[in-house]
Amino acid sequence: MLRQLHCVTTLALLALLALSASAARYSTYGTLQTINSSGVMNVVINNIHSSINLFDDHMQSDLANLIETLQANDTDIRVVVFSSGNPEFFIGHLDVNSVLPGYLESSYFIETESALPIFDLGNPNLTFLEALLWNITELPQATIAVVEGLETSLGLNPGAGGAMYVSQLIGRGCAFEYMLASKDIDAATAESYGWINRAFQTSEELKEYVRELAARIALFPRAGIVGTKQGINAVSRPPLDVLIRDAQNVIGVLERTPEAQALATRFITATNNQSIGELELNYGADLESLFK
């Protein structure tokens, strides 16, 4: 068992080296490890700059580079499986520092010229983050998320289309309940609502199921996967102009309110700048303390 694990890690490192050797549009930070096998790319998300797998600029930069590789028509990858290398979190949450004033001026990146653009280069009406997530839905590959661990909410609105995708999955009533109250949900309940496709008792069952699913999808020709995704996207994804209006509202109005700024600042303090600890691990249960 251990030997097998060691083997996989070594291969992943090699793949990481191969990816970073090719010219990347954005700086690379080593937060994603990839390994390809028979048309399937396994991506392990492991943000070495954060104890909670924070969705920060490092991770966004690496994801944007990965997406660019996958958009190229010469790849034979047909399925992309995202899993986490962090035992507690799939992806913690968006870096709350990015909604605070001063973020733009901060020396978050050592080389300032490598900072991510706020708006997308391809469509300046979308934020970089929204374009990144939209581009994942547009990929010519099927994408699967292996979620083991927490995904915490923030008490801000679930932006970049989050609330819209969730309404489509769980329906209007449950979306109001979970989005407005920012409630935790366990895997079995999430499965019964259609929020996730399937819940498993053990990590082994989950991995085996996804391995078989990915291998089966990868049997099919690229054009079939692309066409099927287009059809499903056409009726189940928020339209781009709705996302654009949402971006303007979030960036232009919500993030700038004194309440949002105060809450974000309190959150950074209470989580010791988003480090693993009581609040990040039990956010759903403990969030009331932030609002008192």
Ligand X SMILES: *[C@@H]1O[C@H](CO)[C@@H](O)[C@H](O)[C@H]1NC(C)=O
Angle 78-138-34 from CA coordinates, rounded to 5°: 45
Distance CA 115, CA 129 (A): 13
Angle 16-196-92 from CA coordinates, rounded to 5°: 50
> Does residue number 146 form part of the binding site for ligand X (CB under 6 A)?
no
Nearest approach, Cβ of residue 285 and ligand X (Å) = 24
Name which of 77 and 287 has its Cβ closer to ligand X.
77
> Does residue number 1 form part of the binding site for ligand X (CB under 6 A)?
no
- For 221, counting Cβ atoms within 10 Å of its Cβ (0-12 exposed, 13-18 middle, 19+ buried), the class is exposed
Nearest approach, Cβ of residue 225 and ligand X (Å) = 13
Asked if 120 and 128 count as a contact pair (C-beta separation under 8 A), the reply is: yes
> Does residue number 122 form part of the binding site for ligand X (CB under 6 A)?
yes
> Does residue number 97 form part of the binding site for ligand X (CB under 6 A)?
yes
Which of the ranges 124-132, 171-179, 199-207, 248-256 carries the binding residues for ligand X, by CB under 6 A? 124-132
Distance CA 71, CA 43 (A): 15
Nearest approach, Cβ of residue 14 and ligand X (Å) = 6
> Does residue number 18 form part of the binding site for ligand X (CB under 6 A)?
yes
Element (H, E) at 144: strand 142-145
Distance CA 64, CA 116 (A): 10
> Does residue number 69 form part of the binding site for ligand X (CB under 6 A)?
yes
Phi-psi region of 39 (alpha: psi -120 to 50; beta: other; left: phi over 0): left
Name which of 46 and 167 has its Cβ closer to ligand X.
46
- Segment 149 to 168, residues that bind ligand X, using CB under 6 A: none
**In angstroms, what is the C-alpha Rg of the chain?**
19
> Does residue number 115 form part of the binding site for ligand X (CB under 6 A)?
no
Say how many residues touch ligand X, by CB under 6 A: 27
Nearest approach, Cβ of residue 56 and ligand X (Å) = 8
Distance CA 82, CA 84 (A): 7
Site string for ligand X, 237-276 (x = CB under 6 A): -------------------------------x----x---
Q: Which residue is nearest to ligand X (CB)?
A: 122
Q: Which two tokens stand for residue 226?
A: 């692309």
Asked if 151 and 206 count as a contact pair (C-beta separation under 8 A), the reply is: no
Nearest approach, Cβ of residue 211 and ligand X (Å) = 17
> Does residue number 72 form part of the binding site for ligand X (CB under 6 A)?
yes
- Residue numbers of the site for ligand X (CB under 6 A)? 15, 18-19, 36, 41, 64, 67, 69, 71-73, 75, 77, 97, 106, 108, 120-123, 125, 128, 131-132, 135, 268, 273
